[in-house]
Amino acid sequence: MNTLTRAGTLAALAVVATAAAGGIAAAAPAAPSAVVNAAETPSTPTEQDRSAAIDAAVGAVSNAFNNGANDGKLFGGALGAAVGCPVGAITGGTLTVLTTAGTLTPIGVVGGCLLGGVTGGGLGTLVGGAITGIPPLVGTATDQYNQLHAKGFVSAPLPAAQ
């Protein structure tokens, strides 16, 4: 049984290749250190620094929303499907008008349950994700914006999230 993952195999190959190359190649001469006294030169953010900081901030906000929304999507979808299936079954798939017992067929019940479950599950996923994902999104977005402001990448700070 093969228990090595592809990533583990590639990492092992990289270590072996690095060790083999290090033993054959001569040591490179040490380059002079480019340490600069921070008091001598003011550091002004470049456009590349600004773009990288904004990209990192957007990634952090996206991760916060996704992490917060995952539980809401799971429970909202399950609850929506659990409610939607019986509603669809007793309405014959119309999801709006109750049908009489005489006109409701077994195929209508099954089809209505499927249609109601899918509709309820989809809407429950959207609502659940929004309910649990928006609060961390707002808090993280405010924090990231204020960090960008403190670094001089944007102009005005936002009030703290409460």
State yes or no: pLDDT of 95 exceeds 50.
yes
Spatial neighbors of 128 by CB under 8 A, at least 6 apart, are 69, 71, 72, 73, 74, 75, 76, 77, 79, 80
Residue 53: both structure tokens together: 């900081």
110-138 pLDDT per residue, tens: 988 999 999 999 999 999 999 999 999 99
State yes or no: pLDDT of 39 exceeds 90.
no
State yes or no: pLDDT of 13 exceeds 60.
no
Q: Which of 81, 110, 78 is nearest to 93 (CA)?
A: 110
- As a whole number, the mean pLDDT across the chain is 77
Kindly state the average pLDDT of the residues 134-147.
93
Q: Residue 5: its pLDDT value, please?
A: 53
Tell me the C-alpha distance between 130 and 128, whole Å: 5
State yes or no: pLDDT of 59 exceeds 90.
yes
Kindly state the average pLDDT of the residues 57-71.
93
Q: Which long-range contacts (CB under 8 A, 24 or more apart) does 144-149 make?
A: 144/57, 144/58, 144/60, 144/61, 145/57, 147/57, 148/53, 148/54, 148/57
Tell me the C-alpha distance between 1 and 132, whole Å: 42
Q: Residue 21: its pLDDT value, please?
A: 45
123 exposure class (CB count in 10 Å sphere: 0-12, 13-18, 19+): middle
State yes or no: pLDDT of 8 exceeds 80.
no
Least confident segment among 94-98, 127-131, 138-142: 94-98
Q: Where are the domains of the chain?
A: 85-153
Tell me the C-alpha distance between 2 and 87, whole Å: 49
Burial 22-51 (b: 16+ CB within 10 A, else e): eeeeeeeeeeeeeeeeeeeeeeeeeeeeee
Q: Residue 81: its pLDDT value, please?
A: 94
